[in-house]
Amino acid sequence: QRECISIHIGQAGVQMGNACWELYCLEHGIRADGTIPGPKLAKPVEPESEQVDSSFETFFCETASGKHVPRAVFIDLEPTVIDEIRTGTYHGLFHPEQLISGKEDAANNYARGHYTIGKEIIDTVLSRIRKMADQCSGLQGFLVFHSFGGGTGSGFTSLLMERLSVEYSKKSKLEFSVYPAPRVSTAVVEPYNSILTTHTTLEHSDCSFMVDNEAIYDICNRNLDIERPTYTNLNR
């Protein structure tokens, strides 16, 4: 059994996560409430002859009641983006403990995400991740989704990566990150956040898949005919 735990941090990470889990559910035929519609077998099947597709177990964990819960944690220092999940179509898919939000955001400030507000929430996050890791029989590693420009995406991610390296030093950590671009920018300090988080996560990340905000912006413009893409479009 090989499992991966996904960690979605900040607005970008959480909104990318929404799109990802929607696709994972479609791919494995899992409904928005976590159940899989399937024919009920009349007679019990021998384990050897059982042709059950368990490929979903990499990303989902099955509960005793037959629900499939994503192996994912959503973290944001302010509640609005995560509240959209709590009230959205897929609210029945996630366990409330997986959605962790603080009361005030990092205000695009790396230091707030890493030192002040991040410090208050990091232990909660690590205990949730530990719980999730305990449910895995062969944890392969972590997929971390975040942006480099935001305060939470940069500051909190680097704090979490440092802590994960201490607790799970043998596990791989893959990053899926959104790099800021001057054309699509909401904060002047994005370059500073990026440099600070790049410096701290360089030694803790095994592999990083980067997308540039400007490139996604152009895709939205050219291929999807969205005139003025917002962050929600970009993250999807």
Report the C-alpha gap between 18 and 188 in whole angstroms: 27
Q: pTM for the full model? A: 0.88
- The confidence score (pLDDT) of residue 236 equals 67
Tens-level pLDDT at each residue, the chain (236 residues): 789 999 999 998 999 999 889 988 988 888 888 888 876 544 444 444 444 567 788 899 988 888 999 999 999 999 999 999 999 899 999 999 999 998 988 889 999 989 999 899 999 999 999 999 998 899 999 999 999 998 899 999 999 999 999 999 999 999 999 888 877 777 889 999 999 999 888 889 999 998 887 777 777 777 777 777 777 776 76
- For tokens 């790396």, the residue is 110
Residues with Cβ within 8 Å of 183's Cβ and at least 6 positions away in sequence, in order, are 213, 214, 217
Separation CA 16–CA 147 (nearest Å) = 10
State the total domains in the chain.
Answer: 1
Enclosing domain of residue 102:
3-30+72-235
pLDDT score recorded for residue 53: 65
C-beta separation of 158 from 20 below 8 A:
no
| 136: number of Cβ within 10 Å | 17
Residue 88 lies in a domain: yes
pLDDT at 75: 94
Residue 37 forms part of a structural domain: no
What is the pLDDT at residue 167? 93
Residue 210 lies in a domain: yes
Q: Is residue 10 part of a domain?
A: yes
Query: Does any domain span residue 95?
Result: yes
pLDDT digits (tens, 9 = 90+) for 9-64: 999 899 999 988 998 898 888 888 888 887 654 444 444 444 456 778 889 998 88
Which pLDDT score, from 0 to 100, does residue 39 have?
Answer: 61
Look at residue 84 and tell me if it is in a domain.
Answer: yes
Q: Give me the pLDDT at residue 40, please.
A: 53
CA distances to 11, 152, 184 from 234, in Å: 11, 18, 10
CATH number at residue 189: 3.40.50.1440
Cα–Cα distance, 162 to 158 (Å, whole number): 6
Q: For residue 136, tell me if it sits in a domain.
A: yes
Asked whether residue 90 is assigned to any structural domain, the reply reads yes
